[in-house]
Structure 1
Amino acid sequence: MVIQKTSLVNIVIEKIKNYILENKLKPNDKFLTEKELTEQLKVSRTVVREALISLQAVGILKIKPGGGIYIADTKLGTINSILKHHYETHGVKIRELIEIRKIIELGALRLIIEKQVPLDIQQLREINESYLQAITTNGDTKKFDRIFHQSLIKATDNDTFYDFSEIIHQYFALVRIDLTENQESLIKSYKQHNEIVDAIKDNDLLHAQKTMNDHFEPIFTFIKKMEEES
């Protein structure tokens, strides 16, 4: 069942890409609504949402809470090219990059809770359940983990913060970290996601940030091992 769902999401993603090309949509053009996509593609709202979130994560679409869906502005492409050149020329200290990502994630939690941003808790739950299904079926766990964290940052309702985080993510994507986690550690990660959502729902910033800190520990442990072996 999970494999079929994932395949359906991928099919919807390709259909959306083709629609954008065929209609020659440009950056900042308004796109179809979730309802329109659901009716046209004859799929569930959950499938459409996952496809939209994935397309937003790779910079094709931009979802504005309560404001519709738009074709993403491609201005970040130049910045990403500069970062790629910098990485190829100078490399990057992996620990420092992870530290920046951690700061961004903790900052996102603070913004969401302090600004009392209306959060789609159900959407986060659905993404995390897809993450659990991927864990139990040896699916693409990194994809759903990425979508979960990307959704948290998007929920800050701060476009500049989001764009900055995406630049860091693109830079991070240039670095290959072969962190292989067993099912037990992945289940722990899934539970931490739920804890973070619960803490946000309860406006408990301290607990949300503590859980996020714990969430990052495995990768810092992995990096420390890499440093000791080098």
Structure 2
Amino acid sequence: MGIQKTSLVDIVIDRIKNHILKNGLKPGDKFLSEKELVDQLQVSRTVVREALISLQSVGIVTIKPGGGVYIADTKLGSINTILKHHYETYGVKIKELVEIRKIIELGALRLIIEKQIDLNIGQLNDINESYYQTIIKKEDTKKYDRLFHQSLMKATDNETFYNFSEIINEYFSLVKIDLVQNEEALIQSYREHAEIIKSLSEHKLQQAQKVMTDHFEPIFTFINQMEEQS
């Protein structure tokens, strides 16, 4: 019996990974072209293409249309693979995912204060003010809300912590949560952002964490309502 196409794709994926490791390729390095891979591995272009697409989906390579194949940032590729596989196989319990996000954000506040990091308060205030303007103009607030929380993660001065928080956020984005808040609730969120900034600037950890905990309450309330209706 001949090797099935799916098995060939898996073999090619493994050989590409080995080639990357053996040659010490780094993020940003240009990789072999599809034609070079076809010639080297003696498989069809279709198999090579499917292998590259699969590797791109887990963050190992980047395919640029008309520009070739490049090595992506592989540091967290294995975690991405695990999370993607888990989601596709088991789905996700939304409440558990939000609980993880809450723990991460509370931990970020602790790191910032314990490490006595000199926060860019002005930048955080500017982001929050932009958030406020989107509320007043009745525009989508998600961009600046996400930017505010990303800035807190970056402020921990811990690259691994930040990258892990981004992976959780990407995993979170796989779940469609249609939480619609009215203007009053959004204004309250803006005020909570401001209070978090103030608490961090004054090195008041308990106060900052209390406000962040309150900040998560609307989404927990929404999830509880969803569970009751299901």
TM-score by length of 2: 0.67
Q: Distance in 1 between the 2:74 and 2:186 partners? A: 34
Q: Match of 1:73, SS? A: coil
Q: CA RMSD in A?
A: 1.9
* Cα distance change of structure 1 residues 140 and 158 upon mapping to structure 2, 3 Å threshold: same
* Cα distance change of structure 1 residues 218 and 79 upon mapping to structure 2, 3 Å threshold: same
**What's the counterpart of residue 169 of structure 2?**
169
Q: Distance in 2 between the 1:214 and 1:159 partners? A: 27
**What's the counterpart of residue 187 of structure 2?**
187
| Kept after mapping to 2: 8 A contact 1:111/1:156 | yes
In the TM superposition, what whole-angstrom CA distance separates every residue of 1:62-115 from its partner, at most 9, and x where no partner exists? xxxxxxxxxx83543553344223212210100000000000000000000111
Larger Rg: 2
Matches within 5 A, 1:59-74: 73-74=73-74
Q: Distance in 1 between the 2:189 and 2:195 partners? A: 10
Letter in 1 for 2:164: F
**What's the counterpart of residue 107 of structure 2?**
107
Q: Distance in 1 between the 2:132 and 2:77 partners? A: 33
Q: Distance in 1 between the 2:174 and 2:108 partners? A: 23
Letter in 2 for 1:186: L
1:79 to 2:79 alignment? yes
In the TM superposition, what whole-angstrom CA distance separates every residue of 1:167-221 from its partner, at most 9, and x where no partner exists? 1111111001000000000000000000000000000001100000000000000
Q: Compute the displacement of 1:140 (Å).
A: 2.0
Letter in 1 for 2:227: E
1:206 to 2:177 alignment? no
**What's the counterpart of residue 178 of structure 1?**
178
Unaligned runs of 5+ in 2: 1-25, 30-58, 60-71
In the TM superposition, what whole-angstrom CA distance separates every residue of 1:11-34 from its partner, at most 9, and x where no partner exists? xxxxxxxxxxxxxxx8479xxxxx
Matches within 5 A, 1:123-162: 123-162=123-162
Q: Match of 1:169, SS? A: helix
Letter in 2 for 1:180: V
1:228 to 2:228 alignment? yes
Unaligned runs of 5+ in 1: 1-25, 30-58, 60-71
Letter in 2 for 1:84: K
Q: Distance in 2 between the 1:28 and 1:152 partners? A: 27
Q: Distance in 1 between the 2:229 and 2:160 partners? A: 38
Q: Distance in 2 between the 1:183 and 1:77 partners? A: 39
| Kept after mapping to 2: 8 A contact 1:80/1:167 | yes
Q: How many residues are paired up?
A: 164
**What's the counterpart of residue 20 of structure 1?**
none
Identity of aligned residues (%): 70
Letter in 2 for 1:127: I
**What's the counterpart of residue 122 of structure 1?**
122
Q: Distance in 2 between the 1:147 and 1:27 partners? A: 25
Q: Distance in 2 between the 1:144 and 1:177 partners? A: 18
| Kept after mapping to 2: 8 A contact 1:80/1:170 | no
In the TM superposition, what whole-angstrom CA distance separates every residue of 1:96-145 from its partner, at most 9, and x where no partner exists? 00000000000000000111011100000010011011111122201110
**What's the counterpart of residue 96 of structure 1?**
96
